[in-house]
Amino acid sequence: MASSETQALTDGFHLVIDALKLNDINTIYGVPGIPITDLGRIAQAEGMRVISFRHEQHAGNAASIAGYLTKKPGICLTVSAPGFLNGLTALANATTNCFPMILISGSSEREIVDLQQGDYEEMDQLAIAKPLCKAAFRILHAEDIGIAVARAIRAAVSGRPGGVYLDLPAKLFAQVMDAAEGQKSLVKVVDPAPRQLPAAESISRALDVLKTAERPLIILGKGAAYAQEDEIVRNFVEKSGVPYLPMSMAKGLLPDDHPLSAGAARSLVLKESDVVVMIGARLNWLLSHGKGKSWGAPKLKRFIQVDIEPREMDSNVEIAAPVVGDIGSCLSAMSVAMGDSWPSVPAEWTATIKQRKDVNLEKMSAKLLSNTVPMGFHSALGALRTIVKQRPDAILVNEGANTLDFARSIIDIYKPRKRLDVGTWGIMGIGMGAAIAAAIETGHPVLAVEGDSAFGFSGMEIETICRYDLPVCVVVFNNNGIYRGTDTNPTGGPDAAPTVFVKDARYDQMMAAFGGVGVYATTPDELTCAVNEAMDSGKPTLVNVVIDENSGTESGRIGNLNPQSVVSKK
Ligand code: ADP
Ligand code: TPW
Ligand code: MG
């Protein structure tokens, strides 16, 4: 028919891309292969940024960090079964951390999968993804792509953000429909993450509790950083005059050198506070579940909790004043209701905190100046602390055990969302994915401070960093192993102990192999020079920092979580 020959057509490939672009999603992180190779190619041809990784887990981690930094779902694109499974860890991790992302995986023929007849990369992906994310959808018809992408976006970013899975069977991509009909089927999501206003009575209840406090404390979590309501958060903290403790990724929401920061008096304020205001932070293991010795139990504490997720309340301890809503709406309502004559925090409390802070900071600054070779964690991190202070726009990525715990307390952060780390699970392997997403999404230089073990989980992605010529400086704290490099095989046999690596490995040469800059550093001065040069040039750089293999402790600061054998204890 003459009319159909001239009819403009579209297909599943183009509709997926058009649906994303219509919703201002312009970057895809992924790994190509059947059946999504052409999806990546066409996306690039259509002007999207397509960042191809060496392993899907890192593409997924990048997508989730892109989601955290932009409040738009990051997209991870994978092939079927094995690629999907590789991406799934990142999807589950995103959901656990409340980061919005969408894992889009190609899948095999439905009929063959459902009859388990052994298709190429056969797997019932939708069923497997479901318990590990906020929502999971499969699209069977091209005309449903618009609605499905809209639902995926809403599910990822509304309420408590999280991961969403979209299952795209191979057949969908080549399905053809009339181009105009196709355009009409697309949905531009209106107000994808609507404000959620707190009830007025929840605000007055919270302020009634706060008013009675003698030793109040605010805890800021990464939900508060995610919300991008930085001025409102700062105003609330300053107006209340309440000392605050930032959780690790909330560091910099207010600068770490802010007078109200109680970061350097953490154990004191947890123990001694009588009213605690949780803002976008959960009372999970990272806060000892809000009870026990570190909270000064059996003293009575009352909690106010500001969170968008109503079911978070009372998850670990009783919440005296739940304030359910988005951070911006809740904190501005609280600030307004506080009026102009809000009572100031008892001076005795602020003085006690200041005293403890001064003592602890003094102790730390002495350690940072140590000039021993090989370096310990303190001297190497002392150098990086100065660099970050001079370059507050740089984004710090951080993983490892000792390398994580020491860096968290030593390196001050001065601006919001400038610290990305292992998050709620304490997961190793987020490093290069997070660094790549941070560079791509913000254009700012990235400093990734990595334990040598931590780095190994995503180390191959330095090729990706070189390929896209990203301003990422990776600093590997090389202490020859997990926690330290000194374990030996108790049998005297030839196998190395399970926690140690090849001695004096040259991670810097890996970077050089891909055309980046590799530096071997043994002193704080060499480290400082190398990182400054990397940050000035923007060239992909890896600095292998030689750290004393004796200097770490088991599991960094969470060694107490290790079960102990009573039989084989040495
Ligand atoms: P941290 O690890 O820093 O303590 P968590 O990830 O445990 O932080 O907690 C983040 C909390 O923030 C989650 O309970 C989540 O529901 C909440 N949250 C995320 N975004 C918002 C928002 N825009 N408004 C209010 N709460 C939010
Ligand atoms: C996915 C367990 C926690 S910390 C760590 C491992 C393997 C590495 C610590 O060694 P590193 O740091 O990085 O050299 P340092 O400075 O102490 O020497 N698998 C996953 N996640 C976790 N958390 C682990 C294993 C772990
Ligand atoms: Mg190590």
- Model pLDDT for residues 317-376, shown as the tens digit of each residue: 999 999 999 999 999 999 999 999 999 999 999 999 999 999 999 999 999 988 889 999
How many angstroms is it from 247 CA to the middle of ligand 1? 11
Cα distance from N-terminal residue to C-terminal residue, the chain: 84
- State which H helix or E strand residue 3 sits in: helix 2-6
**pLDDT tens by residue, 497-553:** 999 999 999 999 999 999 999 999 999 999 999 999 999 999 999 999 999 999 999
Instruction: State the residue for tokens 């969908």.
Output: 172
Judge if the beta carbon of residue 144 lies within 6 A of ligand 1. no
Strands (DSSP E) found in 345-502? 395-399, 419-421, 446-451, 472-478
Residue 28 contacts residue 59 (beta carbons within 8 Å): no
Judge whether residue 568 has pLDDT over 70: no
CB of 331 closer than 6 A to ligand 1? Answer: no
Q: Cα of 160 to ligand 3 centre, how many Å?
A: 34
Residues 234, 250 contacting (CB under 8 angstroms): no
The pTM of the full predicted model, rounded to 2 decimals, is 0.98
Which secondary structure element, helix H or strand E, spans residue 216, and what is its range?
Answer: strand 216-220
Comparing CA positions, the residue from 252, 242, 196, 195 lying closest to residue 219 is: 242
DSSP state of 461: G
Give 200-354's CATH code, choosing from 1.10.3720.10, 3.30.300.210, 3.40.50.1220, 3.40.605.10: 3.40.50.1220
| pLDDT at 299 (0 to 100) | 82
Reported in sequence order, the residue ranges of 299-439 that DSSP labels E, i.e. its strands, are 302-307, 321-324, 395-399, 419-421
CATH 3.40.50.620 fits 369-552, yes or no: no
Q: Separation of 482 CA from ligand 2 center, angstroms?
A: 6
Instruction: Please check whether residue 449 is in contact with residue 419, taking contact to mean a CB–CB distance below 8 angstroms.
Output: no
Distance from Cα 48 to the centre of ligand 1, integer Å: 30
pLDDT, tens digit (0-9, with 9 covering 90-100), for 117-165: 999 999 999 999 999 999 999 999 999 999 999 999 999 999 999 999 9
Nearest to 352 by CA among 272, 237, 254: 272
Q: Average pLDDT of 449-467?
A: 98
Number of Cβ within 10 Å of residue 96's Cβ equals: 17
At which residue do the structure tokens 């709406």 appear?
329
Is there an atom of ligand 2 within 6 Å of 423 CB?
Answer: no
Q: What angle do CA 290, 352, 322 make, to 5 degrees?
A: 30
Whether the CB of 478 sits within 6 Å of ligand 2 = no
Burial of 91 from C-beta contacts in 10 A (0-12 / 13-18 / 19+):
buried
| 168: helix, strand or coil | strand
Burial 25-43 (b: 16+ CB within 10 A, else e): bebbbbbbbebbeebbebb
Are the C-beta atoms of residues 264 and 361 closer than 8 Å to each other?
yes
Q: How far apart are CA 31 and CA 39, in angstroms?
A: 11
Span 377-406, mean pLDDT? 98
The closest alpha carbon to 186, from 18, 70, 57, 54, belongs to 18
Largest CA distance in the chain: 88
Of ligand 2's listed atoms, the one at least distance from the Cα of 484 is: 18
Q: Do you find a cis peptide bond into 298, omega within 30 degrees of 0? A: yes
Regarding the beta carbon of 250 and ligand 1, being less than 6 Å apart is answered yes
Residue 148: φ, ψ to 5°: -65, -40
Is the pLDDT at 1 greater than 80, yes or no? no
Report residue 2's pLDDT band, with 50, 70 and 90 as the boundaries.
very low
Q: What percent of the chain has pLDDT over 90?
A: 96
pLDDT per residue as tens digits for the range 4-62? 567 999 999 999 999 999 999 999 999 999 999 999 999 999 999 999 999 999 999 99
| pLDDT tens digit sequence for 225-273 | 999 999 999 999 999 999 999 999 999 999 999 999 999 999 999 999 9
How many angstroms is it from 531 CA to the middle of ligand 1?
33
Q: What rounded mean pLDDT belongs to the chain?
A: 97
Q: Average pLDDT, stretch 381-397?
A: 98
Residue with structure tokens 């084989």? 568
Q: Among the atoms of ligand 2, which is closest to the Cα of residue 553?
A: 17
Q: Is 403 in the pocket of ligand 2 (CB under 6 A)?
A: yes
CA of 568 to the centre of ligand 3 (A): 24
Query: 3-state DSSP call for residue 58?
Result: helix
Can you tell me which residue has the tokens 């102790």?
363
State the pLDDT at residue 570.
52
In single-letter form, the type of residue at position 235 comes to N
Question: Hey, where are the domains in the chain?
Answer: 4-185, 200-354, 369-552
Spatial separation of the C-alpha atoms in residues 152 and 173, rounded to whole Å: 18
Question: Which residue puts its alpha carbon closest to atom 4 of ligand 2?
Answer: 401
Residue 85 pLDDT > 90 = yes
Q: Do domains 200-354 and 369-552 have the same CATH topology?
A: yes
Q: Which fold has domain 4-185?
A: Rossmann fold (3.40.50)
